[in-house]
Amino acid sequence: MTCGNMGFMDGRGSVKITERKKDRIIVSGFNVYPNEVEGVVKLHPGALETAAVGAPDEKSGEVEKIVVVRKDPALAEQDLLAHCRKRLTGYKVPTVVEFRAEPLPKTNIGRILRRELRALKRA
């Protein structure tokens, strides 16, 4: 039985849920997990918060889209992508970068609502 949660078990037997299977982005048959991409983007000093979602693509099925709220207003797309290229395998590097001025949508406990960001891209 599968519930759609993904995670790992530590040495003490504790389970940590890290991802939802439906949040996974499939790029040309390769799995890309949003948390990994978001973690790399968050390392950039100019990024305040970010979310990675899949965006439709005719060639590869989906591509990575990152939605970023800047900490540094001078943060440019090319700087962010160069940062990602140094730290991610090629197929995991975002293809689309969207900057937002307003905070990303969140649950009551502060988790980013990727489903709302996916819904917005279709509008």
pLDDT at 28 over 60: yes
- The DSSP bridge partners found for residue 117 are none
pLDDT tens-digit map of 7-21? 556 788 766 554 444
Residue 16 lies in a domain: no
Residue 17 lies in a domain: no
Residue 77 lies in a domain: yes
Which of 77, 94, 86 has its CA nearest to residue 34?
94
Number of residues written out for the chain: 123
More confident residue, 44 or 63: 44
Pairing of strands 15-20, 96-100: unpaired
pLDDT tens-digit map of 64-106? 999 999 999 999 999 999 999 999 999 999 999 999 999 999 9
pLDDT at 117: 85
Q: What number is the average pLDDT over the span 35-54?
A: 96
User: What total number of domains does the chain contain?
Assistant: 1
pLDDT at 61: 84
CATH number at 114 reads 3.30.300.30
Residue with tokens 């979310």: 51
Residue 3 lies in a domain: no
Residue 118 lies in a domain: yes
Average pLDDT across the chain, whole number: 85
Residue 9 lies in a domain: no
Residue 73 lies in a domain: yes
Pairing of strands 61-70, 96-100: parallel
Can you give the pTM of this predicted structure?
Answer: 0.77
pLDDT at 51 over 90: yes
pLDDT at 2: 46
Residue 5 lies in a domain: no
Task: Please give the residue range of the domain that contains residue 76.
Answer: 23-122
